[in-house]
Amino acid sequence: MTETTEFRPVPSDLGEHELLVNMGPSHPSTHGVLRVVLRVDGEKIVGTEPDVGFLHRCIEKICEGWTYPQIVPLTDRTDYLSPMTCELAYVTAVEKMAGIEVPERAHWLRVLMAELQRIASHLVWFGSLGNDLGATSPFIYALREREHVMDLFEAISGARLTYSYMRIGGVRKDLVPGFADKARAFLKLMPGRIREYENLFMKNAIFLARSKGVGKFSAHQAIAYGASGPVLRASGVDFDIRRDEPYAAYARFKFDVPLGENGDVYDRAVCRFGELRASLDIIGQALDGLPEGDVLVKAPKVLKLPAGDAYSRVESPRGEVGLYIVSDGGTSPYRLKWRAPSFVHLESLALMCDGYMVADVVANIAALDIVLGEVDR
């Protein structure tokens, strides 16, 4: 595989032995409504072209008509597998532009929720990776662990998927009694389970054969193609927004940032397992060091941002979620652009799949951890 950073869509002339196969929007392994048009020569892939837009809901246009506090529940619906992170991205961006000071306790609670969310999201990644590779059982185990996180989130926000927990100026509600104990019990439970799941995959000869060397993505290509999060770190680029451009209370936490080497499916799995452990570490630190205080400042009833624009980013389980907000001084954003990591990663799918086999497309999509909600918005 020569290393290239050229942009190559699927050419329209079909060779003699080639077949155009449609991995349609309705497919068990495309993580949502993603359509991938594959040009195959037998089993070998000669061209890949993702076709997106099946879940497009014009969220950005809707935001131009709603006020800033009203947009918070809408941000849940972009990346619906890690809504806390999306809300965090949005409120961080708005608070930066409006100059609102959030209480320290709210910052720590935000870190706590974001890391719990990271664990839940990576568990879904782990389960769907197993399911796509043919091993259905890990999916059930992963969802069983995720139930603990969902229970915690339900206790604190009343919902299991779209929380609307973070608000402009803090978080909606303080921890309920019993939350800390339940969270600590979860922290005790998880390391053993993570070890079990790692053994199920990282030591399994079949999984290693399916993932080592598949979807190689060098550091140069990763930076050129805008990769972020575990995809970027798996290629060996040491960058983590939580550590290098900290937001919320991350500057006060110490955590590992796992790195990979080759940027193949195996390295991305290693990175995500490492992040699972690091998240447990952060949650422990957060529970121990939670400061006292309010959780929500009184933001003005009618919130108007000063005219201007700003780009603000956070580290979601999928990568860099960025918010570019343009304000004209009114109560709604003039333009709100949601930079979704999955959307940007899909472009590099072609680089990762060409030259490999049909079965590797599935492995690559699973390792990129795409959520169509944020791809299509």
Partner 1 sequence: MNATNLPARRTVAGEAIQNLLASRVPSARTTLRPDGELEVRVPATALVATARLLAAAEPLALNYLSCVSGVDWLERGRIEVVYTLHSMPDPAAKVSLRVETDRELGRAGVPSLTSVWPTAGYQEREVFDLFGVKFEGHPDPRRILLGESFVGHPLRKDFVDQRPPHRRVTREDYQP
Partner 2 sequence: MLTQLGDYLQRLFDQVHLAASGSPFWHGAFSLGWGLAKFVAVILFMILNTLILVWLERKLSARIQTRLGPMRTGRPHGWLQLIADTLKLLSKEDVVPRAVDRPLFIIAPVVVFSSSILIYVVVPMGGRAIVADLDIGMLYLAAATSFTIIGLLMAGWGSNSKWSLLGAMRGAAMLISYEVPMVISVIAVVMLSGTLSTNGIVAAQSHLWHVLVQPLGFLVFLAALFAELNRVPFDLAEAESELVAGFNVEYSGLRFAFFFLAEYTNLLALAAIGVTLYFGGWQGPWLPPFAWFLIKTYAFVMLVMWIRWTLPRVRVDQLLAFGWKVLLPVSLVNLLATGLYVLLA
**Residues at the contact surface with partner 2, assessed by CB under 8 A:** 19, 21-22, 27-29, 43, 130-137, 140-141, 144, 204, 206-207, 209-210, 357-360, 362
Q: Which does 207 bind (CB under 5 to 8 A by kind): partner 2, partner 1, none?
A: partner 2
Q: Which is nearer to partner 1, 44 or 335 (CB)?
A: 335
The residues binding partner 1 (CB under 8 A) are: 5-9, 52-53, 56, 58, 60-61, 223-226, 237-239, 243-246, 251, 309-311, 313, 320, 322, 324, 326, 334-335, 337, 339, 343-344, 346-347, 376-377
Q: Which does 238 bind (CB under 5 to 8 A by kind): partner 2, partner 1, none?
A: partner 1
Q: Is the dihedral of CA 265, 212, 37, 140 positive or negative?
A: negative
Q: Which is nearer to partner 1, 213 or 246 (CB)?
A: 246
Q: Which does 358 bind (CB under 5 to 8 A by kind): partner 2, partner 1, none?
A: partner 2
Tell me how far, at minimum, the Cβ of 177 lies from partner 1, in Å.
Answer: 35
Tell me how far, at minimum, the Cβ of 305 lies from partner 1, in Å.
Answer: 15
Tell me how far, at minimum, the Cβ of 48 lies from partner 1, in Å.
Answer: 13
Q: What share of the chain is helix, strand, coil (3-state, %, to 5)?
A: 50, 15, 40
Confirm if 34 and 26 have CB atoms less than 8 A apart: no
> How far, in Å, CA of 358 to CA of 210, rounded?
12
Q: Which is nearer to partner 1, 62 or 187 (CB)?
A: 62
CA–CA distances in Å: residue 186 to residues 35, 54, 71, 162: 37, 37, 32, 21
Q: Which is nearer to partner 2, 151 or 238 (CB)?
A: 151
Q: Which is nearer to partner 1, 124 or 361 (CB)?
A: 361
* Alpha helical stretches, state H, the chain: 59-63, 71-76, 83-98, 104-133, 137-157, 179-202, 205-211, 219-224, 230-234, 241-244, 265-289, 341-347, 349-353, 358-368, 372-376
Q: Which does 309 bind (CB under 5 to 8 A by kind): partner 1, partner 2, none?
A: partner 1
Q: Which is nearer to partner 1, 141 or 334 (CB)?
A: 334
Tell me how far, at minimum, the Cβ of 233 lies from partner 1, in Å.
Answer: 10
Q: Which is nearer to partner 2, 102 or 133 (CB)?
A: 133
Q: Which does 140 bind (CB under 5 to 8 A by kind): partner 1, partner 2, none?
A: partner 2
- Please report, for the chain, how many H helices and E strands are present, in that order: 15, 8
> How far, in Å, CA of 41 to CA of 52, rounded?
24
Q: Which does 324 bind (CB under 5 to 8 A by kind): partner 2, partner 1, none?
A: partner 1
* CA atoms within 13 A of residue 146's CA, in its CB half-sphere: 22
- Taking Cα atoms as reference points, which of 2, 98, 82, 106 lies closest to residue 320? 82
Q: Which is nearer to partner 2, 28 or 192 (CB)?
A: 28
Q: Which does 144 bind (CB under 5 to 8 A by kind): partner 1, partner 2, none?
A: partner 2
Tell me how far, at minimum, the Cβ of 132 lies from partner 2, in Å.
Answer: 5
Q: Which does 359 bind (CB under 5 to 8 A by kind): partner 1, partner 2, none?
A: partner 2
With a CB cutoff of 8 Å and minimum separation 6, the contacts of 131 are 28, 29, 138, 139
For the chain, the residue count is 377
Q: Which does 31 bind (CB under 5 to 8 A by kind): partner 1, partner 2, none?
A: none
Tell me how far, at minimum, the Cβ of 137 lies from partner 2, in Å.
Answer: 5
Confirm if 353 and 360 have CB atoms less than 8 A apart: yes
Q: How many CB atoms lie within 10 A of CB 315?
A: 29
Identity at 371, one-letter amino acid code: V
> How far, in Å, CA of 144 to CA of 130, rounded?
15
Q: Which is nearer to partner 2, 150 or 297 (CB)?
A: 150
